[in-house]
């Protein structure tokens, strides 16, 4: 049932919107090479060959991702400029929010006396 769901629905890859379908295919190929490399029944020669293939595929994935990501940022920047020229603040805000990503909260530092360090309030 899980395999059928994956086949019909597919994977949800919302986290990295800029990665194209062809790049996901190459990423899956790299993942398959890694799984084959971890196979226990392989000889050292076969494992070395797969390690070399994985290394080449890994470089290809990184190059593709960098190229596609830069193109996506350029596209978003041009969309943002066009929206700013039209004074469409809603679109500008949405694009900037997409480019910024999720907000990461910093961890607070706990002092020896049990209080958390923070900005001091001088009245």
The DSSP code sequence of the chain is -HHHHHHHH-----S-TT--HHHHHHHHHHHHHHHHHT-TT--HHHHHHHHHHHHHHHHHHHHHHHHHHHHHHHHHHHHHHHHHHTT-HHHHHHHHHHHH----PPPPPBPTTSPBP------
Mean pLDDT of 8-16: 61
Mean pLDDT of 76-104: 86
Task: Provide the mean pLDDT of the chain.
Answer: 82
pLDDT digits (tens, 9 = 90+) for 41-70: 888 888 888 889 999 999 999 999 999 989
Which pLDDT value is given to residue 8? 66
Report the share of the chain in percent with pLDDT over 70.
Answer: 79
Q: Evaluate if pTM is beyond 0.95.
A: no
Report the share of the chain in percent with pLDDT over 90.
Answer: 32
């Amino acid at each position: 049932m899980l395999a059928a769901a994956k086949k019909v629905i597919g994977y949800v890859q919302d986290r990295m919107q800029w990665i194209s379908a062809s790049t996901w295919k190459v990423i899956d190929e790299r993942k398959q090479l890694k799984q084959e490399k971890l196979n226990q029944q392989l000889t050292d020669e076969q494992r070395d060959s797969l390690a070399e293939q994985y290394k080449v595929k890994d470089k290809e994935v990184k190059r593709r991702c960098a190229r596609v990501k830069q193109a996506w940022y350029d596209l978003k920047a041009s969309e943002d400029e066009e929206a700013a020229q039209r004074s469409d603040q809603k679109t500008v805000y949405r694009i900037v929010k997409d480019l910024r990503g999720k907000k990461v909260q910093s961890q607070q530092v706990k002092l020896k006396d049990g209080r958390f360090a923070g900005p001091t309030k001088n009245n």
